[in-house]
């Protein structure tokens, strides 16, 4: 019998067979939705650079979180825009700060969703840096004081814990912050609160739209002294390994799409759950191209998210979480 030289790829030709042999699955259980909260009431202000995302006040935030919980999304991560920014970012650790109020309000009303908080100073400081800034008298150069910042971050994490947070996520990239936060939580009876550390966080241009959303661009300099060089992968292993030694429970890679190799590397090297942060720029450029009619947002978003899963992400923080939860109900990709 004469066979054709090239046989058809039988496992690809039938939808049901494709389903049967599919290696990766995206599920609503993988997703965390980032949300922004600001003082006021009745607010739902669309963020111009991130269509479909809003700055909520606490009351409207609770309603949004209820919807997300009803869609089956397991968690939200909160970012705060404070009433007042100052040198020491004091609203970050104030008992009646915006995030503390938001945690209490959600926890009061909704029990079937995790509240995660971003622990960082950049949204709360008037200079927009992620920590305590000092100025070198001789050179006039500004520097973030690592160890002073640890004190502020620990206070911030503790105040979130006091308000009822489920997981804290330090995103500042200071050295020793996981250790400092673990210690203060344990000393205060919060041994059960896990730490999801932004372990491999790159100095990325993809954070641009977020800085509009959180009103947190640095007023001078950049974040290159404490965020990682995009050219480095071995450094990511070192950062993750240090965070794990200090007690991180989940390690994150951020951004996601330009760093899929880093996600895979970390997944293969450590046993800890890996989170990927599909950041604002990755989201907004797809939205913009979709609005121009150049690409199909839903298809591109789902392809990107499954790509992150394939790279090894166990958890994906994404501005598409709500849409994806709905899309996944319509059809499994």
Catalytic-role residue among 19, 109, 151, 201: 201
Tell me the pairing of strands 44-46 and 54-56: antiparallel
Q: How far is the CB of 216 from ligand PBG (least distance, A)?
A: 7
Residue 19: how many other CB atoms lie within 10 Å? 10
329 given a catalytic annotation: no
What's the Cα-to-Cα distance from 209 to each of 279, 286, 308, rounded to whole Å?
A: 9, 12, 21
Catalytic-role residue among 85, 101, 254, 298: 254
Interface residues for ligand PBG in 171-200 (CB under 6 A)? 171
Q: How far apart are CA 256 and CA 251, in angstroms?
A: 13
Query: Quick one: three-class SS letters along 24-73?
Result: CCCCHHHEEEEEEECCCCCCEEECCCCCCCEEECHHHHHHHHHHHHHCCC
Q: Summarize the chain as % helix, strand, coil (round to 5).
A: 45, 20, 40
Q: Taking CB under 6 A as the rule, does residue 118 contact ligand PBG? A: yes
Nearer to ligand PBG by Cβ, of 32 and 113: the residue is 32
In the stretch 44-83, what mask flags binding to ligand PBG with x, by CB under 6 A? ----------------------------------------
Backbone angles phi, psi at 264, to 5 degrees: -65, -45
254 given a catalytic annotation: yes
In the stretch 204-223, what mask flags binding to ligand PBG with x, by CB under 6 A? ---x--xx-----------x
Nearer to ligand PBG by Cβ, of 182 and 254: the residue is 254
Q: Taking CB under 6 A as the rule, does residue 279 contact ligand PBG? A: yes
Least Cα distance to 168 among 109, 123, 115 occurs for 115
Nearer to ligand PBG by Cβ, of 60 and 227: the residue is 227
Query: What DSSP character marks residue 127?
Result: T
Nearer to ligand PBG by Cβ, of 190 and 198: the residue is 198
Q: Taking CB under 6 A as the rule, does residue 315 contact ligand PBG? A: no
With CB under 6 A as the contact rule, the residue among 26, 35, 105, 120 that binds ligand PBG is: 120
Nearer to ligand PBG by Cβ, of 101 and 223: the residue is 223
Choose the binding region for ligand PBG from 25-33, 118-126, 153-161, 258-266 (rule: CB under 6 A): 118-126
Detail the DSSP E strand segments found in 82-188. Answer: 114-119, 132-135, 142-145, 167-170
Catalytic residues: 201, 254
Q: Which parts of this chain interact with ligand PBG (CB under 6 A)?
A: 118, 120, 122, 171, 207, 210-211, 223, 279-280
């Amino acid at each position: 019998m004469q066979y054709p030289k090239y046989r058809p790829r039988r496992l690809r030709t039938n939808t049901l067979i494709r389903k049967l042999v599919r290696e990766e699955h995206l599920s609503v259980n993988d997703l965390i939705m980032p949300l922004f909260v600001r003082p006021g009431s009745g607010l739902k202000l669309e963020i111009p650079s991130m269509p479909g995302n809003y700055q909520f006040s606490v009351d409207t935030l609770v309603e949004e979180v209820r919807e997300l919980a009803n869609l089956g999304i397991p968690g939200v991560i909160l970012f705060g825009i404070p009433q007042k920014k100052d040198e020491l970012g004091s609203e970050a650790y104030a008992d009646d700060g915006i995030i503390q109020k938001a945690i209490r309000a959600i926890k009061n009303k909704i029990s079937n969703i995790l509240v995660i908080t971003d622990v960082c100073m950049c949204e709360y400081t008037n200079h927009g840096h992620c920590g305590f800034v000092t100025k070198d008298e001789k050179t006039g150069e500004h520097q973030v004081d690592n160890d002073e910042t640890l004190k502020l971050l620990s206070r911030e994490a503790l105040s979130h814990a006091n308000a009822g947070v489920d997981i804290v996520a330090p995103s500042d990239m200071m050295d020793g912050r996981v250790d400092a936060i673990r210690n203060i939580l344990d000393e205060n009876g919060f041994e059960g609160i896990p730490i999801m550390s932004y372990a491999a966080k790159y100095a990325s241009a993809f954070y641009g739209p977020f800085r509009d959303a959180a009103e947190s661009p640095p007023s001078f300099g950049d974040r290159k002294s404490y965020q990682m060089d995009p050219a480095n992968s071995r450094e990511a292993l070192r950062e993750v390994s240090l965070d794990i030694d200090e007690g991180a429970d989940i390690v994150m890679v951020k951004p996601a799409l330009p760093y899929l190799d880093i996600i895979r590397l970390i997944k293969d090297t450590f046993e800890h759950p890996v989170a990927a942060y599909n950041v604002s720029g990755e989201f907004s450029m797809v939205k913009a191209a979709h609005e121009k009619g150049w690409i199909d947002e839903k298809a591109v978003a789902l392809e990107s998210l499954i790509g992150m899963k394939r790279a090894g992400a166990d958890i994906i923080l994404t501005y598409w979480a709500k849409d994806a939860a709905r899309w996944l109900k319509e059809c499994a990709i």
